[in-house]
Chain A
Amino acid sequence: MELTEQPSEAPAAESPGALAPPPGEAVVIRDLWFAYRGAAPVLHGVDFVARRGQITMILGASGSGKTTLLKLIKGFLRPSRGSLTVLGRTWSAGGPDPQITAATSYIPQNLGLLRNMTVLENVLIGALGRMDTIPSLLRSFPRDMVVEASGVLERLGLGGKDHLKVHTLSGGERQRVAIARARLQRATLLLADEFVSQLDPITKTEVMNILRTRSKEAGTTYVQTTHQLDVVEQFADHVVVLREGKQVLDSPAAGLDVMEIARIIKQ
C-alpha cells in the first residue's frame, strides 16, 4: 500500500482527530479498474469526484459494479489499476489505511447490525476504533461515550429504545441505528449500499432527510448506491451511473431528468 499525505486546509468536520479532506474533494477516483482474481474486470476506468458535504448517488442495474466501487472506496478491496484518493490520502496499490478506515463509515445493504445485541451496544460499536483494546473487550465503554450514544439515539428519535434488541425494531428504526453507529464513529465520509431500498416511501424520506440535514450541517460526505430514481430526484447532489462496470454518466443532479437517467441505465 502506498500512501501519500496530501495538503489539507479544511477543518475536521466532527472531531479534532478526524481526517480533514481537501476543500471540496472527499473522494477522487481516477481511471479506476478492478477485477476479482482470475475474472474479467468488474470496473472499467471509473473516474469521478465526490465533493465534500454533498450526497453522491451511484446508480446502475444489478451487477453493474456499484457495491464493488463502494468497497474499493472503503478499502475492503484493492484496485487493479488507477488511483483512489479518499479524504486526502491516495493509494494506487490499495489497502485499508487505519486513519481512513476510522474516518469512513460503511453501511452494507442489510446494515450489518448485530441482532443479539441491544440498540445501544450496536451504536457503541461505532466507537470501537477510538477505544483501547482491553477495556473494549471487557465492554467497559467510558461514561461519556455511552452518554454520547444515548444522545445520538435521542436525536434520531430512538430515545428510550437503548436497551431493546435490534431485531425487535422496525426497518426504519434499524436504519437509524446504523446512522447512529456511523455518528459514533465520527465519520466524515459515509458510504452506504442500497441504504433505503427496503423501506416504505414515508420512512425512506424521513431517513434520507436525516442524512441530508447531516451532510449540510456537519459537512459529512455521503456516497450511496441506489436503484431508486425517486430517491435520486429528491436527495442527490451528484449522480454517477455505471453500466456493466463502465461509467456512463457523471453529472450534478440539478437539472437532470430522472427519465433520462433511467434511459441511460437501461441503454
Chain B
Amino acid sequence: MRGVAPRLTQLGLLAVLVATLSNLGLLNLDLLVRGAGNIAVFVAAMFPPNLAVLERVSWALLETLQIAYVGTALGAVLALPMAFLATGTLFGPRVTAPTRFALAFVRTIPALLWGIVFVVAVGLGPAAGALGIGLYTLGYLGKLFYEIFEGVDPEVLEAVRGVGCNRLQLARFAVLPEAANGVLAQLLFMFEYNVRASSIMGFVGAGGVGYYMLGYIQLLRYDALMTAILVTLVVVLFIDWLSRRIRGLFIQPANVGE
C-alpha cells in the first residue's frame, strides 16, 4: 500500500505534463518539423557574423553595462534600508509587513515593464532603462537582503543588543557585518543578472544593445544580430569571471573559526 501513493503522484504529474505539452502545441509533429527547418534557416543566416556593425554594437553594449551598473547601484542603495525595515529580528510586524508588501509589489512587475513605465515617464533612452532596472533590483535585492539579515546568528544579535545599543547601531554593527558576505554575493549575482536584463531594455526603447538587436531581427539582418549576440556573450562571460574573482577576494568561508 505504501508504494501506491508515490506511484499515483508520478502518474498524475506525467499526465499533467503530457496534457500541457499538447495544449502548447508541442506534440504537433508537423509544427516541430517545420520549426526545426526554420531554425536551420535562421542559424544559417547568422553566419558569418557581420563585423561591420562591431563598433556600433560595442558602444551600445557599453551603454547596456552602464544601465546595469547604475541600475544595480540604485536598486541596492534603496534596497538596503528597505531590507532593514523588513527584517523581523529588528522590527515588529507593523513595520515589516507593509515593507515586505511594497517590495513584493515592485518585484511582481518585470524589469521590461518597468522600462516601459519609465520610457513613458522620462522618455526614450538609457535613463529609462537604468531606472527600470533600479526599481526591479530594489524588489529583488530587498527580499534577498532581508532573508540574509534574518539568517544572522541570533547569539550575535543578543550579544550586541545586550550592550544597550539602538536599532540603527544593531543594524550597523551586528546585522550588516555578519551579513556582508551574503550581501556582496547577491549584489554580484544581481549585477550579472542585470547585464542580461539590460541587454533587452532596448526592445522597449530604454537604451542599450537591445535596440540594435530588435532592429536587426525586424530587418532580417541575422548576421548583424549574431555579432551583437557574440559581443554580449563575451562581455557576460568576462563579468562572470570578474565576479568570481571579486567573490574570491572578499568572501570568506562561512564557518571560519566558529
Report which residue of B156, B163, B168 has the largest number of chain A beta carbons within 10 angstroms of its beta carbon: B163
Q: Does B258 lie within 8 Å of A104, measured CB to CB? A: no
Q: Is B57 an interface residue (CB 8 A)?
A: no
Nearest opposing residue in chain A for B166, CB measure = A133
A105 / chain B contacts, CB cutoff of 8 Å: 162-163
Contact B158 A108 (CB under 8 A): yes
Alpha-carbon distance A125/B161, docked complex (angstroms): 10
- Residues of A within 8 Å of B156, CB to CB, are 112-114
Q: Would you call A262 an interface residue if the criterion is a C-beta within 8 Å of the partner chain's C-beta atoms? A: no
A128-B163 contact, Cβ under 8 Å, with A114-B177, A116-B252, A137-B172: yes
B52 to chain A, nearest CB (A): 51
Partner of B164, one of A101, A116, A169: A101
How many angstroms between the C-alpha atoms of A180 and B157 in the bound complex? 18
A181 touches B163 (CB 8 A): yes
Determine whether the beta carbon of B173 is less than 8 Å from that of A128.
yes
Question: Which among B155, B159, B257, B258 has the greatest number of chain A C-beta atoms within 10 A?
Answer: B159
Q: Is A117 in contact with chain B by the CB < 8 A criterion?
A: yes
B162 contacts A104, CB within 8 Å? yes
Cα–Cα distance between A106 and B154 once the two chains are bound (Å): 13
User: CA–CA, A117 to B252, complex, Å?
Assistant: 13
Taking the complex as formed, is A129 at the interface, i.e. its CB lies under 8 A from any CB of chain B?
yes
Instruction: State in angstroms the CA–CA spacing of A110 and B163 once bound together.
Output: 16
* Interface contacts beyond A106-B159, A116-B180: sample of 8 additional A-B pairs, CB < 8 Å, sorted by A: A74-B162, A104-B162, A105-B162, A105-B163, A106-B162, A109-B155, A125-B163, A128-B173
Interface residues of B, Cβ cutoff 8 Å to A: 153, 155-166, 168-169, 172-174, 177-178, 180-181, 252, 256-258
A residues near B (Cβ < 8 Å) are 71, 74, 76, 98, 101-102, 104-117, 125-129, 133, 136-137, 165-169, 178, 181, 185
